[in-house]
Amino acid sequence: MIKIYIFEYYLSFSMFVKNINMPIYSFKEFIPVVDPSSFVHPTATVIGNVIIGKKVYIGPNAVLRGDWGLIRVDNGSNIQENCVIHMFPGTTVHLMENSHVGHGAIIHGARLGKNCLIGMNSVIMDDAQIGENSIVGALSLVKSNDILPPNSLAVGNPAKVVKQLSEDQINWKTKGTEYYQQLPQDCMNALNECKPLDSIEDNRPMQTSDYKTWKSS
């Protein structure tokens, strides 16, 4: 019985280790490319024809499905928790340099310009183009083939441009993205699986930052 238990434990542990270390999958002739300076969370899934540049952060449970077309994520971009990137067959999805994709967003066959921000749980549909330095507000829907001009703020369902962003607002977005550009290295250095504590320890530190939400900054 002891030998059987040890074997079952070893088998379960081996499968667990394999799963947490293999979020990257080839598909047919395509093997994903991930720059060593980037971080893909062990619970994320990257499949097929995906090219990830330098200092890119891919968050927990994000899915990049390059089974039907190319997904290109340029340097300094981030794709946060529970995002999905996919396309119609034969389509390229391109996230240009410093693209910032918020929690739960879906990018389907679209192109994101440099330094843009896609708000949480937004959906960007096929062949849409998001202009450089633009922001799509949370919970918005950008329809297929829509083109948002550079430096614009778009919100709603369907998303409409409501204003041009000021230089200060663009700089605020850029600073927020810089936090995510540091995160890959921080995760490599300091993200460790652990057992939780039974109680709060004395003198528990607090995280602090001088970066605030736009209305608070």
Alpha helices in the chain (DSSP H): 2-20, 167-190
Taking residues 38-54, report their average pLDDT: 98
Which domain covers residue 112, as residue numbers? Answer: 15-169
Neighbours of 174 (CB within 10 A): 14
Is 1 within a domain?
no
- Look at residue 53 and tell me whether its pLDDT is greater than 80: yes
Helix (H, G, I), strand (E, B) or coil at 184: helix
Helix (H, G, I), strand (E, B) or coil at 131: coil
- Look at residue 64 and tell me whether its pLDDT is greater than 60: yes
Average pLDDT taken over every residue of the chain: 91
Taking residues 150-166, report their average pLDDT: 98
Is 3 within a domain?
no
Is 34 within a domain?
yes
Which among 129, 161, 162, 124 has a CA at the least distance from the CA of 143?
A: 124
Is 38 within a domain?
yes
Helix (H, G, I), strand (E, B) or coil at 48: strand
Position 19 scores a pLDDT of 37
pTM here? 0.88
Is 84 within a domain?
yes
Which among 62, 127, 64, 123 has a CA at the least distance from the CA of 90?
A: 127
Is 175 within a domain?
no
Q: Which residue has the higher pLDDT, 207 or 154?
A: 154
Q: How many CA atoms lie within 13 A of 183 on its CB side?
A: 20
- Look at residue 189 and tell me whether its pLDDT is greater than 60: yes
Q: Convert the pLDDT of each residue in 97-129 to its tens digit.
A: 999 999 999 999 999 999 999 999 999 999 999
- For residue 48, CA distances in Å to 28, 72, 154, 162 come to 8, 11, 32, 37
Q: What percent of the chain has pLDDT over 70?
A: 89
DSSP state of 214: G
Confidence of residue 6 (pLDDT cuts 50, 70, 90): very low
* 8 A C-beta contact, residue 52 and residue 59: no
Is 98 within a domain?
yes
DSSP state of 30: B
Position 98 scores a pLDDT of 98
Among 17-21, 144-148, 186-190, which stretch is predicted with the lowest mean pLDDT? Answer: 17-21
CATH number at residue 109: 2.160.10.10
